[in-house]
Amino acid sequence: MRGGVLALILTALTACSSKDAPSGAPLDAGDAGADAPDPCKPGASITPYVRSGGAETTFPAGFRFGAASAGMQIEKGLVHADWYQWANVAGKVARGDKPDDGPDAFAHLEDDVAALVAAGAKAYRFSIEWSRIYPTRESFDKNEPDAAGLAAYHKLLKALRDAGIHPMVTIHHFATPDWLDDITKPKEPQGFERDEMAPLFGEWAKRMGKEFGAEVDDWITINEPLVLMVGAYLAGAHPPGPPLDIDRMFNAAKKLVKAHVAGYRALHESDTVDAGSGHAAWVSIAKHNRVFKPYDACEETDLTAAKKTDYLWNEWLYNALVFGDWDDDADGKYDGPNDKKADPALKGTVDFLGLNYYGVSTVSGALKLKYIGGLPAYDALPTDLPKTDMNWDIYPQGFRDVLRQLKKYSLPIYITENGVGDAKDANKSRYLAEHLWEIGRAIADDGIDVRGYYYWSLTDNFEWDRGFCPRFGLFRIDYASPARTRTPTKASALFKQIADSNKLTAATIDALPAYSSPTLCPGAR
């Protein structure tokens, strides 16, 4: 096996094991008695949610309740983005949905700001789209930004400021200009696998810091770097797609790290203005972390696979960006020829930790590598947990696990995403409340410095390869109406109640309906 982050995951997941791979059949009760659960029963390490103790959870003063979005998922007319081209290729997006048929955020800017206000949000995370500002290579090289694009983002920032809403800006949220990621030429280096990506991304970041630094303090360079890498170069769920190859992916991931570092330094160089937070640029990534459980907690290969996946997915990158510890061969040790400890080129290149949390994965040493939702190393093991419309397990207790794991980095944490696809608006309130509850307990009981929570998403939107089916919004979009009306969900009222009072009671959660079955979306894995 050649080296590489996911090569190691692959090694772990294809390791020999005496037992059969899970069949995908529902779990049966096994031989264990009802009151003596069998710890070796497949899936036994994933237990139902039991709320942490206490009658109420209060959030620290100034805790930032907000909502999140991304340009490609809500804007119309991003015709020079790789995702725009990708969505035009048959079979890439469920039902052939197209981003242009989405919420059309620029035309509804006032509606979205009004929605934030109505939900009691004090913060909004959104992206500035590289392909809107620089639609062509020539426009970038000559530094001739699209004036209408710049004006649109300034208009949004002003409207947010007038409404007292704090911005957090992502400068790369999955979509890349098509002049850097050309899906018609997948055999040539594309996207982050290009050698020029780090300097170009640094330049892009520098210009954004200069242009918007007086209005923005909080920056995300790259959203979910590892999801992007796996999705683009290994799973084929994101552009540029095939040839899918683990070395290709790892090569791109290393260049992505360089691009982030260039972006981090450039934003600090160009944004020296405090826009109101008490500091100028504060820069990080939005990192998708999750809980990895062994399929069979009594099987050594499953335990090892879960541990390795956890390290690679949850720690490998932040170890590099916070401590400067670069594990080039991704073996969990820092003794390889290209490994480095406390490398000053990497160390301290995040000012806070961005955390996107969506749940739990089961890992088996006997399984071949699988991709679900663009993520590696977990299988479709049926569990008894309630599910989202994406068929993801709902696992609020995992929030505390991932937060505790981040504690060693000693940096403030923002929850940059967390949310649920729920077309019926039947489960969203409970999901929101249970997840916020566990964050509150992590702050109070585990001493974890969480400063804010951005619900994904403000409105329903274009959910990448799943199209418009998953409805994550605090506000429902009526896609059939040209007015694209934003209608509040029940969860938006609960969100406001929690944000306004800065607290959540156990009684509030108990009064919410129990989870009901999801409306599964096409392609839900």
User: By the criterion CB under 6 A, which residues form the site for ligand FCB?
Assistant: 70, 73, 223-224, 227, 288, 356, 417, 456, 463-464, 472
Neighbouring-strand partners of residue 393: 387
Residue 388 tokens, joined? 């989202």
Backbone dihedral angles phi then psi of residue 6, each to the nearest 5 degrees: -85, -15
Query: Which residue, chain included where needed, has tokens 């209005």?
Result: 215
Residue 81 in tokens: 């983005």
To ligand FCB, the closest distance from the beta carbon of 305 in angstroms equals 23
Q: Give whichever of 106 and 456 is closer to ligand FCB, judged by the CB atom.
A: 456
Minimal distance, residue 99 CB to ligand FCB, in Å: 12
Between 106 and 472, whose beta carbon lies closer to ligand FCB? 472
Distance CA 396, CA 438 (A): 7
In the complex, what is the shortest distance from the CB of residue 462 to ligand FCB, in angstroms, rounded to a whole number? 9
The 3-state secondary structure of 7-72, one letter per residue: HHHHHHHCCCCCCCCCCCCCCCCCCCCCCCCCCCCCCCCCCCCCCCCCCEEECCCCCEEEEECCHH
| 134/472 with CB nearer ligand FCB | 472
CB closer to ligand FCB out of 170 and 270: 170
What is the nearest approach in angstroms of ligand FCB to the Cβ of residue 463?
5
What is the nearest approach in angstroms of ligand FCB to the Cβ of residue 227? 5
Q: How far is the CB of 187 from ligand FCB (least distance, A)?
A: 27
State CA 520 to chain mean position distance.
21
Residue 417: CB minimum distance to ligand FCB, A = 6
Which one, of 314, 165, 140, lies nearest residue 226 by Cα?
314
Name every residue whose Cβ is closer than 8 Å to that of residue 346 and which is 6 or more positions away in sequence.
Answer: 257, 261, 320, 321, 324, 326, 340
Taking the least distance from each CB to ligand FCB, the nearer of 68 and 443 is 68
| Sequence-ordered list of residues with C-beta below 8 angstroms from that of 46, at least 6 positions apart, any chain | 293, 360, 362, 383, 385, 393, 395
Q: C-beta of 48: minimal distance to ligand FCB in Å?
A: 23
Nearer CB in complex with ligand FCB: 73/489:
73
Name the 3-class secondary structure at 286: strand
User: Which C-beta is closer to ligand FCB: that of 346 or that of 458?
Assistant: 458
Half-sphere exposure of 45 (CA within 13 A, CB side): 21
Residue 95: left if φ>0, alpha if ψ -120 to 50, beta else—which one? left
Nearer to ligand FCB, 65 or 126 (CB): 126
Q: What span, in angstroms and rounded, lies between the C-alpha atoms of 81 and 186?
A: 15
